């Protein structure tokens, strides 16, 4: 594609076919972008970022040309920052997605079929293996590692160095190897405008280690829990 006049694209960046770039996008030196790829408005892509490499699956087809399509695509939402040396792979069964207003720090790995919600922070050195699902407003600490097909609920806070081998429920505070539930993300919930009584209700559920259906969840939070329950098959709490 031809660089847009309203974007700042470094001349050493390589941009393949079927790459759609929004307005006011910055792309740094030596970045490599391969389609199908959609980048929303006002994104910032750092030096040596690779977006669109084939799904990293043993035995999967790798095309002979660096810019040939080799997957189901990637979507990067508006106002998302992806810092230097990070990688996002094409989807194999569904489109790989990163939502709006996300901040991915340096050396982050987003593998095939991963879907990350909006307003997420993915800290340095984090790796999300294939098919991982991350809800909105999640904060992943440095060097978090998530096993394939794990689900991390909206509003949760994952401590640095955590190995996510089970599905973390919404608004949880969790850390460790393997991951363990450490109560609710009170600070994050409060900053999001969630009422104190709703925070207390979820805290009581997590202290008990179980909940009995959505009827025990405050009405304002049921959508987030429904999203998680529909995807989680190895929950930390159930």
112 in active site: yes
Q: Which member of 91, 109, 113, 136 is catalytic?
A: 113
Q: Given its phi and psi angles, is residue 128 left (phi above 0), alpha (psi -120 to 50 degrees) or beta?
A: beta
Give dist(CA 131, CA 139) in Å, integer. Answer: 18
196 in active site: no
Q: Which member of 89, 112, 131, 147 is catalytic?
A: 112
62 in active site: no
Q: Which member of 46, 117, 130, 153 is catalytic?
A: 130
Query: Which of the residues are catalytic?
Result: 112-113, 130
């Amino acid at each position: 594609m031809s660089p847009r006049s309203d974007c700042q694209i470094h001349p050493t960046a390589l941009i393949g076919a079927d790459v759609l770039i929004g307005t006011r996008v910055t792309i740094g030196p030596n970045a490599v972008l391969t389609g199908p790829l959609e980048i929303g408005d006002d994104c910032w892509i750092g030096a040596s970022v690779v977006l669109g490499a084939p799904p990293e699956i043993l035995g999967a087809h790798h095309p002979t040309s660096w810019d040939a399509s080799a997957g189901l695509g990637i979507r990067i939402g508006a106002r998302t920052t992806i810092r230097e040396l990070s990688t996002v792979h094409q989807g194999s069964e569904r489109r790989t997605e990163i939502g709006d207003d996300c901040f991915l720090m340096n050396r982050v790995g987003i593998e095939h079929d991963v879907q990350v919600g909006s307003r997420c922070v993915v800290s340095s050195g984090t790796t999300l293996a294939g098919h991982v699902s991350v809800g909105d407003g999640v904060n992943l600490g440095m060097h978090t590692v998530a096993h394939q097909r794990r689900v991390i609920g909206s509003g949760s806070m994952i401590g640095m160095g955590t190995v996510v081998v089970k599905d973390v429920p919404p608004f949880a505070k969790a850390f460790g190897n393997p991951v363990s539930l450490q109560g609710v993300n009170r600070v994050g919930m409060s900053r999001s405008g969630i009422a104190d009584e709703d925070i207390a209700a979820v805290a009581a559920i997590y202290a008990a280690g179980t909940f009995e259906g959505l009827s025990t969840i405050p009405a304002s939070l049921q959508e987030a829990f429904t999203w998680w329950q529909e995807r989680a098959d190895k929950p930390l709490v159930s």
